[in-house]
Amino acid sequence: MQSSLFSAALAALLAAASFSTQARTLGPPPADTIVVRLPNKAVLTLVVRDAQQLRQLPQYHLDSLVARLDGYIRRADAATKAADTERLTTVFHPNQDQPDQGLPEEIRITTRKQSGSAYGPSNKVEVLLEKKFGVVVNIDGKTNDQPRAAASRPDRQAYRDSLREARWDRKSSSTDVIFDLGLNALVNNRIDRVTPAGQTPTSPLDLRTGGSRYVNIGLNFKQRLGGRRSPLYLKVGPEFAFNNYMLEGNHKWVNQNGLTSVVLETNGRQYQKTKLATSTLTVPLMLQLNPHGHSHFRLGAGGFVGYRLASWTKLKYFEENTTYKDKDYGPYNLNDWQYGLQGVIGFGSLTFFAKYNLNPLFRAGQGLQAQTLSFGLRLLQ
């Protein structure tokens, strides 16, 4: 009976399609909505862009779709009863289950818990056919002939929450481009300064704050751990980090006799910039918490391991009315492998990060024995 009613309604809609086309003289609007109230209290709503889409409906075998929907609704109702929310949206993909059968690409069923009723007072079935037009079926649990009242504010909010949960379900994994911009500092400095033999020790080592920059760009692969409502994610991915260690005053980095040192320039030359820079391939491994209902809040912690790709020193000075930039590549007794801890905390578009190297920047006995601390803002993720 329900199938014949559906067929009759569809035939009426197809007959009216030519009238709808003739009446449209200024070009079709983005979408037309056609509402059909069936004798069994069901409401059928079709959303189409033009009459041609309406004429294409028979190729999707909508009669058999009605029978298929009954099974989907029962499965959605069972999922809602087992869920810990009052309202739940379940998504089915018939065309993926049975390819090349002319089945809908997506069916979304929103149900809510209700005692004494098979499917609750208002189940909404959204059918997407080849991403062209939609069919919406409202199953009303009322038995009188009065039209169903407009949804209340709590119902509308519950529906929005169900859509948000559906989007939450789809975000079980993702790939994010990240871009960090921050500063470097040297901590746990066990030797204030390192100077070559025979030279007078200088004042304690200081880094120029604004020039000791940290830049990091990479990809993070994020995978949810646990069930669909789990707020815990695992993040891993390749990153390229660039660390600058710029000195204050007229000091410079010197590499000689197997020792990387910081010394004061004594020949009268005044440096505008003097820095040691490194580039590193880093692989982080982090656990990130996105509490359910607060998808914009992030809290993550974990570790990282990286390998030094290149290192160099750069001197910039002005002499005889000419600006010189001397760049010298070399290992500078740096540890090739770096490893440490890192964390992020953010809300919305604002995210802070911090990275702490557990091993020293230089090899033991061949340079400054201190760890690197990088911190700043994550501009992309």
Q: What is the pLDDT of residues 69-108, one digit of tens each?
A: 777 778 877 877 777 777 778 887 777 777 776 677 777 7
Chain centre distance of CA 372? 28
Question: What residues pair up with 170 in beta bridges, in sequence order?
Answer: none
Residues 27 and 167: their CA atoms lie apart, in Å, by 34
Residues 42 and 123: their CA atoms lie apart, in Å, by 10
Phi first, then psi: give them for residue 58, nearest 5 degrees.
Answer: -60, -30
pLDDT of residue 55: 72
Element (H, E) at 94: helix 94-97
Chain centre distance of CA 38? 43
Q: 168 vs 52, which has greater pLDDT?
A: 52
Question: What residues pair up with 297 in beta bridges, in sequence order?
Answer: 347
Domains of the chain, each with CATH number or no CATH: 2-170 (no CATH), 173-380 (2.40.160)
Average per-residue pLDDT for the chain? 76
Residues 275 and 309: their CA atoms lie apart, in Å, by 17
Binned at pLDDT 50, 70 and 90, residue 41 comes out as low
pLDDT of residue 152: 57
Binned at pLDDT 50, 70 and 90, residue 267 comes out as confident
pLDDT of residue 20: 41
Question: What residues pair up with 345 in beta bridges, in sequence order?
Answer: 299, 352
Average pLDDT (194-210) is 61
Nearest to 32 by CA among 6, 51, 58: 51
Please say if the pLDDT value at position 360 is more than 80.
Answer: yes
**DSSP labels, 59-72:** GG-HHHHHHHHHHH
Residues 372 and 240: their CA atoms lie apart, in Å, by 16
- The structure's pTM equals 0.56
% of residues, the chain, pLDDT over 70:
66
Please say if the pLDDT value at position 238 is more than 50.
Answer: yes
Q: Within 10 Å of residue 96's Cβ, how many Cβ atoms? A: 10
Residues 141 and 148: their CA atoms lie apart, in Å, by 10
pLDDT of residue 104: 74
Residues 217 and 20: their CA atoms lie apart, in Å, by 54
Binned at pLDDT 50, 70 and 90, residue 172 comes out as confident
* DSSP secondary structure letter of residue 205: P
Average pLDDT (49-76) is 72
Most confidently predicted of 89-98, 292-301, 371-380 = 371-380
List pLDDT tens digits, range 304-339. Answer: 999 999 999 999 998 888 888 999 999 999 999 999
Residues 324 and 310: their CA atoms lie apart, in Å, by 22
pLDDT of residue 359: 95
Binned at pLDDT 50, 70 and 90, residue 144 comes out as very low
Most confidently predicted of 50-59, 171-180, 285-294 = 171-180
pLDDT of residue 91: 81
Spatial CB neighbours of 70, under 8 Å, sequence gap ≥ 6 = none
Average pLDDT (20-27) is 40
* Tokens matching residue 283: 């692989």
Radius of gyration from C-alpha coordinates of the chain: 33
Please say if the pLDDT value at position 289 is more than 50.
Answer: yes
* Tokens matching residue 344: 């992020």
